[in-house]
Structure 1
Amino acid sequence: MLDQTYYKKADEIISQHGLEPASLIPIIQDIQSEYRYLPPELLRYVAKKLGINEAKAYSVATFYENFSFEPKGKYIIKVCNGTACHVRKSIPILERLYSELGLSEEKATTDDMLFTLETVSCLGACGLAPVLTVNDKVYPGMTPDAAAELIHELRGAE
């Protein structure tokens, strides 16, 4: 059960976009931006407010890869594994990050909710490969050592 403040915030977001069914995507985008994930309870709440059945709301939220029902860390790290990055050795970077963060393909977020590690098919920065992003900030020409150093810097900023 979510704290009442989540519902108040959802109401604020809904009021910015209106009660039209077409507002579903921008509303849930804003909710996810606020909490770094889309709490399923809020998706149901928004659907009810907009007069959309829950199945329709879930079909929209699950269709788009950008939405996540799982809480994410403060720092969301996306490692590109597209062709250019893969050829330029993105996998050793990913493996080093898994090791540094104590994560795996099955466990994407650290227990302290500081880091979430994801792989993506392409970040659209092929000329800068291998690339990773942290909260959408691009880090080009990465190496395993540079990725480990970045983790230490981010931890130090806390």
Structure 2
Amino acid sequence: MSPETMSIFPPKVAARFDALVEKYPVRRSALVPMLLYAQDAIGYLSDAVISEVASRIGITELDVRNVATYYSMLRFKPAGKFNVQVCTNISCMLRGAYDVYERFQEELGIGHKGVTADGIFSLEEVECIGACCWAPAIQVNYDFHDDLTPDGVSEILDRYRNKVRDKENNA
């Protein structure tokens, strides 16, 4: 992408992308990190995001989509401010992950890939978050919570609701 081309990304993110493609001997190797940074900046992988990332790397939009659809942490529609991912893979399942997941559904009033009406939370069931030793576990954005029980769900949700309130009160 040429410097005079408009970017949909904030200048810091665009500069990070430029640095990434220079870092790797093969530009395509920057794809997954770029998609993660793009998702953090925009909220999801929109058509515009996919187009710009493809252009920056020099690959087709189809190539970007083919890679992006492989990873469960990448999404193609907006998620809540706090995306709750409940692992239900074997280790977590055996230690009560489905009970934890059901409690999140009840408390949030949404199901898999749902977003609360206020846009604060989204919920999804995922295969593995790599915390098998501390099962059952969840990930909220980039924060891990482990060794959970259904009784701990309200406290976790309240913690994130308070973050939103604190930010609004300090604005």
TM-score, normalization by structure 2: 0.76
2:73 to 66, 72, 97: 66
Please show how residues 1-158 of structure 1 align to structure 2 within 5 Å.
6-9=8-11, 11-18=14-21, 20-105=27-112, 107-158=113-164
Q: Tell me the C-alpha RMSD between the 2 structures.
A: 2.3
% identical equivalent positions:
31
| Contact residue 9 and residue 42 of structure 2 kept, 8 A | no
Give the gaps of 5 or more residues in structure 1: none
1:26–1:124 distance in 2 versus 1, CA, 3 Å: closer
Distance 1:26 1:137, change over 3 A: closer
Answer whether contact 1:81 1:90 (CA < 8 A) is retained: yes
Tell me, in whole angstroms, the C-alpha distance in 2 between the residues paired with 1:131 and 1:50: 35
Whole-Å separation in 1 of the counterparts to 2:56 and 2:143:
34
Cα offset, 1:43, TM superposition: 0.9
5+ residue gaps, structure 2, are: 1-5, 165-171
Change (3 A) 1:97 1:51: same
Report 1 or 2 for greater relative contact order, CA contacts < 8 Å, sequence distance ≥ 6.
1
Q: Distance in 2 between matches of 1:7 and 1:138?
A: 27
Q: Give the SS at the match of 1:63.
A: coil
Q: Secondary structure at the match of 2:77?
A: coil
| TM-score where L is the length of structure 1 | 0.81
1:130 and 1:26 mapped to 2: Cα distance? Answer: 27
Post-superposition offset of 1:21: 4.1
